[in-house]
Chain A
């Protein structure tokens, strides 16, 4: 069955792992072995029971009560399946948060209602990153309602606190939901809580099912043909180009162009799953015979001959920095690594979504930048094609951020 990916985001300690752990357990999706282990270690650390330990499996995670790295648990309930992606809330672990969240179809953002917790910078940063990565649907789950006597006023307060920011960055309308929950006591998770009769909306699971239902992904098939080249292979009748169709479809006999080389060729052979076929579509891994060619390097892109894709070396980008780069940076675009230089145009306050003056790079902040790449690449605006409109950024071999082509 189809599995929808939901990433659970939010500040450290606001209850992400607890929520996922309980959802897995209540839906009957966690194995008994995992539950028993969580029980055993809860006892060892003198806690009643931490459902978070179903996910948090490293000794350090359990000892310190915080998630270090992303993981996921699969939940099946009433005919729907979700991969619940857990990420760390700690600021220093943002690269792990980005890794987990990048796979999400929608996000569940946790905000703790507990006094002194509430909406934080990190809450907003997580939302900003999700939006930047192209995620358009969000559920704001106001958690730990048990600590405020399940009072509606506190829920409304938090909702008002975060709503303007959500609108500013573009979460709204039918793709945005708010729900009061207690992750720990399982209020409003799968069913409807008796502790909050004032909330008459859907349970968390019901909202997830609603958001997951209007599937994406199928869109890729309707976009123009794009193939990310991975490598070349040799078979008995010559060499074939190997890659994944990231969008569109192709047919035997069709004319294609390889970028940035500008090479025009006809598709003479197509293989999918090791078999010769006549056509292939988005998502499939192909091997293509296009006559005699020199090696086509990784990072090259195959497109239809006439659809106007061009290679560029100056790119306007939005970049999030997980840390401050050294002078030299490299980017990873479509599987290829290349050198680049950056000119910051202005900063962006990730807690308001607003552009602000400033040309220095702030760790855990974002900026509009002009990126110059050492070679031409067939990049496209992210809005047009996600795969060709995004890249990861490195400095001295270390991951320092992600970028979106504007």
Chain B
């Protein structure tokens, strides 16, 4: 896994965040309390002179790990976040992709409509999956959250010109260039607090956090940020392999994204 120059990917992320707030009327960010979206918020604090200027949305399906809630509330207070909690109805009979896709997406749609957000910052990275590697930094979604991946807007130089010509919204991806290992190196460098579930209990840890329904831990002894970086230096597996969703039917990622799943 390539370790990139943290200053240069940080600068680019900052630039994209500033583009987002200056080009769109009503911006919000998704905050899963996971490492990526927390890193994004840390960068936003730098870009906007200490304060995150947009509301952060947590889609709460009330089956998140208890540790996650404690982490959320303490960081929201410390960083003075404008936190919007969107309750998603849990449908017990749905698991995996259907669960993430339906529950979370429906809840997000409701919040987006209620507040009228026209741009949504989502902290995805190219190295997560081949389909994500096809994303733009700014990418329009229609009112049903559909991604027209066969006809994406041109995006070149610093002209992230995606426009909104439907009543949908534009997804903003400031961390698209980052690799998993960069996230952890940045967390270390900037001393960013992270959800304790990422660290090993001696036998296993979570590499990526969905909710209790579809996240499975991986074998690991890493109890510190340094430990995780060491493990990643030696490892080649894509991190989402710990989520049951990715083991499902063909092209599930693509279908979900076309349907508006993050």
Interface residues of A (CB under 8 A from B): 1-3, 28-29, 31-34, 37, 54-55, 57-60, 68-74, 76, 81, 95-96, 98-99, 102-103, 228, 230-231, 233, 235, 240, 242, 244, 271, 273-274, 283-285, 287, 298, 322, 332, 334-335, 337, 387, 390, 392, 394, 397, 399, 402
Query: Is B131 touching A57 in the complex (CB atoms < 8 A)?
Result: yes
- B5: chain A residues within 8 A (beta carbon): 1-3
Number of A-B contacts (CB under 8 A): 131
Minimum CB–CB distance for B262 against chain A, Å = 17
Give the CA-CA distance A103 to B120 in the complex, in Å.
Answer: 24
Query: Is B241 touching A33 in the complex (CB atoms < 8 A)?
Result: yes
Query: Is A284 touching B11 in the complex (CB atoms < 8 A)?
Result: yes
Query: Is B49 touching A390 in the complex (CB atoms < 8 A)?
Result: no
Secondary structure of the B side of the interface? loop
- A273: chain B residues within 8 A (beta carbon): 10, 14, 46
- B161: chain A residues within 8 A (beta carbon): 332, 337, 392, 394, 399
Which B167-183 residues have C-beta < 8 A from chain A?
Answer: 179
Q: Count residues on chain B whose CB falls below 8 Å from chain A CBs.
A: 49
- Given contacts A71-B126, A81-B2, could you give 4 more A-B pairs where the C-beta distance is less than 8 Å? A37-B130, A69-B149, A283-B11, A322-B154
Minimum CB–CB distance for B64 against chain A, Å = 26
Minimum CB–CB distance for A312 against chain B, Å = 20
- B10: chain A residues within 8 A (beta carbon): 273
Given contacts A235-B49, A285-B14, A397-B165, whether A228 and B158 have CB atoms under 8 Å apart is yes
- B3: chain A residues within 8 A (beta carbon): 1
Given contacts A31-B236, A285-B15, whether A274 and B46 have CB atoms under 8 Å apart is yes
Give the CA-CA distance A74 to B11 in the complex, in Å.
Answer: 19
Give the CA-CA distance A31 to B22 in the complex, in Å.
Answer: 37
- 20 residue pairs of the A-B complex, CB under 8 angstroms, read A28-B236, A31-B236, A55-B130, A57-B130, A57-B134, A69-B134, A69-B149, A81-B2, A95-B154, A98-B154, A99-B154, A103-B156, A230-B15, A230-B18, A244-B15, A244-B158, A283-B11, A285-B15, A322-B154, A335-B159
B67 at the interface (CB under 8 A from A): no
Given contacts A31-B238, A32-B237, A69-B134, whether A399 and B153 have CB atoms under 8 Å apart is yes
- A29: chain B residues within 8 A (beta carbon): 2
Query: Is A392 touching B159 in the complex (CB atoms < 8 A)?
Result: yes
Query: Is A335 touching B134 in the complex (CB atoms < 8 A)?
Result: no
Give the CA-CA distance A287 to B46 in the complex, in Å.
Answer: 11
